[in-house]
Structure formats: C-alpha cells, structure tokens
Structure 1
Amino acid sequence: MTRTDRRRLLLATLALAALPGRGRAQVDMMMRGVDLDAPRMREAELTRAEVEAMIAAGGPVDLHDRSLNGLDLSGLDLTGADLRWARLNRANLSGCRLDRANLALVWAIGADFSKASLRDADLFQGQFREARFEGADLSGARLVGDFSRASFRAAALGGVRAGADLTNQSMGLIRAVLRSAVLDGADLRGADFTLADCEFAKFRGADLRDAVFAKALLGGADFTGARVAGLDLGEADLASAVLKELDGAGAIRGLDRAKNLDRAFRD
C-alpha cells in the first residue's frame, strides 16, 4: 500500500469515529474516496496454508498491512498477532484465538469473528461495520472503532475499553461507534462506553451492571429487559431510548442527569 493510500485510509478511519450524528453524511462522502472494490480491499495476498506456516514457525505472527480479504482463517491461533492496517473485509475468523492481538486500523467490514477469543485485543480505530462477534469473548479489549450494524449477540464484553480518550483528541473526538449494532444478551459488566455513539443499538436482555455510558449517544437504543444495576447514564442522551422491563432500574447511576429522559420510553 502506498503512503498516499495509507493516508487516505487513515483520514477516512479517523473521520468515521470522530463525527457523530449528522456528521455521518460527511463521513460517507469521505468513504467514497476509499475504493472498497480495489484489489487490496477485496482480495487476499496469502493463502490459509501460508498463514498456517507462519504460525508453525513460532512466535506472534506478523500480518500487518496485509490483504487477507475473504480468507478463511477460522479456528487459527493468532494470539498476539500483529494485524495493524490489515484488510480483513469479509474474512472468516470465527473461532480464532486473537487474545492480545493488535488489530488497530484494521479494515474488517463484514468479517466473521463469531465465537473468537479477543481478550485484551486492541481494535483501536478499526473498521468493523456489519462484522459478526456473536458469542465472541472480547473481555478487556479496546473497542474505539466503527462497529455500526455489527452483531455482538451473547458476546462477552466485560471490562471493554470503548470510552473516548479525552487526553488525545488532536484529530477531534475519537469515539466508539455502535450505531444500530446488536448486543442482545451480551455481557457488558464494567464496560466503559463513555461518549460512545450507540444510537439505535439493541441491548435487549444484556447485562449492563456497573457499565459506564456517561455522555453517550443512546437515542433510539433499546434496553428492554437489560440488567442495569450500577449502570452510569450521567449526561447520556436518551431521546427515544426504550427503558422497559429493566432489572435493577432503581440502582441506575446518573439518571437524574441524563438528557432527554422525558422523551425516553419507560414503564
């Protein structure tokens, strides 16, 4: 990948996480400058056998800046792998071990991480739109990236670090984006989603005990049947959010400081 290509991808990636709400139209315009039909974004430069040979050689695998689009890597042990800048669009990583792997700035649109283990992995500024993390273990992972329309059904997200880093915002507010994502039945105990954009996300039946969604955008989000004791919603925007059949509603923190609570749907 040329320096110009890399710069274009970086700018688009930063913009996707930095612009909330109405700024998404600008992001979509920037995405048009990224050719998702280019060979580097839809083809694989390695085979599964070649990746297996790299694993067999021992030590963490170096796959940074590689095109692995559409490749079947299911079930492989990629613990601690360097996947920075890799292109994994539509790749199959279901059941993979990716604990402590570095997936910063990855493009993994529509990739399948179902039942994969990504404990303490770094997914900073990755593009994971429409990716599948159903039943995956992301405990302690860093999730400041774009997960719009991604599925985290029954995923383990305890202690996830998805809060905005307010000490490093030279490119604007870099936040986790989970617009229209599905987290039904997920375990988010103690997860940090401060300032995250979770508009229209589904948290039905999820375990949100002691999670932090302070200042998050939660407009239209559905929390029906969620466990919420200790959940921090201080200054979160709850316009049109569904807050019904909650378990532990009386122990929610910061609800008196939430925005647009009067516009939320409650029991």
Structure 2
Amino acid sequence: MGRILANAALGLGLLCLSATAQDMMRGVDLSSPDMVSAEMNRADLEAAVAAAGAAPADFTGKRLSNLDLSGLDLSRAIFRSARLNKTRLAGANLEHAVLDQAWLLDADLTRANLKGANLFASQMARAHLDGADLSNSRVAADLTGASLVGASIADAKLGADMRNQSMGLMRAVFKSANLERVNARGADLSRVDLEFASLKGADLTGASLRGAQLGGADLTGVTLTGTDFEGADLASAKLVAPIGLDQAKNFDKAKNRDRLIRN
C-alpha cells in the first residue's frame, strides 16, 4: 500500500509541476534512489514483454534508470511516469510506445524507433536521439540540451494544442538543443521553444513555425520551402544561406525580422 501511495503521490506531483512551464524537476531530488536505480533488470523486462503477449507491456511508474535496454522490441509498451534516466535504449523499437510523464534525463535513444510514440510532459533534458525516428509522434517534452542530429520528426506533432492547455502551455522545448540535419518535413512546431537551438542543414519543408520561439537559433542552410513563419520570433536568429526562403509562408509576419543575423 505504501508503494502504491508513493507512486500516486509522484504522479500527482508530476501533473501539478507540469502546469508550471513544464518544469517537473522543481523540488525533485534527482540523486534519490527513485531517480537513479532500477527495480528490474533487462531479463526481467524481456520476460514481462513476452508475458504480455499481444497486449502492451505495462511499466507504468517503474524504476528503470541506468539499465541497458539497447535493441529491445518495446513497441506499444507503456512507460507512463517511469524513470529511465541514463537508460540505454539505442536502437530500441519504441514504435507507438507511451512515454507520457516519463523521466529520460540523459537517456541514450540513438537510432531508436519512436514512430507514432507519445511523449507528453516527458523530461528528456540532454537525451541522445541522434538518428532516431520520431516521425508521426506526439512530443510535448522538455528536450533542453538534447541532441537530435540527423533525426526525423517528420509529420510529428510538437506544437501546443491551444484547444487543450489546461496544464499550461504544453509543447516541445528544444532550448540549446542540437537539431542539425533534422528531417522536420511537415512537422507541427507551432509555439515550440527553439531558443539557441542549432538547426543547421535542417529540412523544414512544409513545417509550421507559427508562434515559435527562435531567438538565437542557428538556421544556417535550412530548407524553408512552404515553412509557415507567422508570429515566429526571430530575434538574433542566424539565417545564412537558407534554401527556399522565397517560398516560405508568412515570413513577413514573423517577429523581429529586423534583428536577424544574415552573415
């Protein structure tokens, strides 16, 4: 009963904290056993997946930090509110997995398959997602300082859904993240925080940057064909040698265009 109450309290705490600018780390001891330990090993987890059969394996609230789960098939698995800090998931199949409110600080998701996954209010600061596939996923996570070099967020929904913001402005946060050469074709990046992020060589064809925060971002060599800039804040953003800028949408309606750095 004590464990159940503890998990319930943690879940309630996460919901309350996410209402304040997605800052779920406030007041949380990241060095506590709850955040750095594991209650299962790799074999236990594989057995749980096998036992689930056709149903999704459920790891809600589990402590799974610092494990090596690289290459595992975890498609459709549920990791809601699980702790996966510094967990190695390189090359893992997480297609359609549920990672809402999960903790993935410094997690290694290099080349992981996250197609159609749900990452709502997830904490992923400094996570490694180089070469990962997040196409068609729903991402309203804090990815401050994360690396997504060569990753795909094509057709992903990372923007704020203004019809449902009862928890505050929930959208992807990429402050100071490395998004170089990312495939963001058709992605919804509306109101996303991209301040000081590097998007060198990124493909933003058909993406929406409506209301996005791009202050200090590096947009060198980006492809902007059909990209929607309405209301995007470009203060001190670096826009050098862009491709298809003349075919971008609503660039004249972007904020602080006069403060762009063009060389």
For normalisation by structure 2, the TM-score amounts to 0.94
The answer to whether 1:49 aligns with 2:50 is no
SS in 1 for 2:120: coil
Match of 1:137 in 2: 133
Is the 1:71–1:92 Cα contact (8 Å) retained in structure 2? yes
Residue equivalent to 1:22 = none
Superposed CA offset, 1:140-190 (max 9, x none): 001111111111100011001011011112232222211111110110000
**Secondary structure of 2:121 counterpart:** coil
Give the CA deviation at 1:132.
0.7
Partner SS state of residue 190, structure 1: coil
- 1:31-52 CA-to-partner distances (Å, cap 9, x unmatched) read 3411111111110000001011
The change in CA–CA distance for 1:89 and 1:16 in structure 2 (over 3 A counts) is farther
Which stretches in structure 1 are left out of the alignment for 5+ residues?
18-26
* Aligned residue in 2 for 1:23: none
Q: Give 1:21's aligned residue.
A: none
The residue aligned with 1:159 is: 155
- Distance in 2, matches of 1:83 and 1:197, equals 25
Task: Note the 1:22-41 alignment, pairs <5 A.
Answer: 27=23, 31-41=25-35
Letter in 1 for 2:99: L
Distance 1:189 1:14 in 2: 30
1:49-84 deviation digits (Å, cap 9, x = unpaired): 101111222232111110100110000000000110
| Residue number in structure 1 paired with 2:11 | 6
Distance 1:118 1:77 in 2: 11
- Whether the 8 Å contact between 2:130 and 2:150 is mirrored in structure 1 is yes
Q: SS state of the match for residue 15, structure 1? A: coil
Distance 1:192 1:37 in 2: 35
Q: What whole-Å deviation, never above 9, does each CA across 1:89-127 have from its counterpart, x for those lacking one?
A: 100001000000000110100101000000000001100
Q: Tell me the distance in 2 between the aligned counterparts of 1:81 and 1:211.
A: 29
Q: Is structure 2 residue 215 aligned with structure 1 residue 214?
A: no
Task: State the aligned residue count.
Answer: 256
1:76 counterpart residue number: 72
- Which one-letter code corresponds to 2:25 in the other structure? M
The match for 2:175 is 179
**What is the DSSP-based 3-state SS (H/G/I as helix, E as strand, rest coil) of the residue aligned with 1:125?**
strand
CA deviations 1:5-31 (Å, max 9, x no partner) are 3222322333243xxxxxxxxx5xx73
Kindly indicate whether the alpha-carbon contact (under 8 Å) linking 1:8 and 1:33 is maintained by their aligned counterparts in 2. Answer: no
Taking the TM superposition and a 5 Å limit, the aligned residue runs for 1:83-98 are 83-98=79-94
What TM-score results when the alignment is normalised by the length of structure 1?
Answer: 0.93
Q: Which amino acid aligns with 1:80?
A: R
Alpha-carbon separation, structure 1, partners of 2:176 and 2:21:
15
Q: 233, 236, 245: which one pairs with 2:241?
A: 245
Structure 2 residue 255 is matched with structure 1 residue 259: yes
RMSD: 1.3
Alpha-carbon separation, structure 1, partners of 2:77 and 2:9: 25
Match of 1:103 among 75, 79, 99: 99
What's 1:150 paired with? Answer: 146
Counterpart of 1:246 in structure 2: which amino acid?
P
Where do 5+ consecutive residues of structure 2 fail to align?
A: 1-5
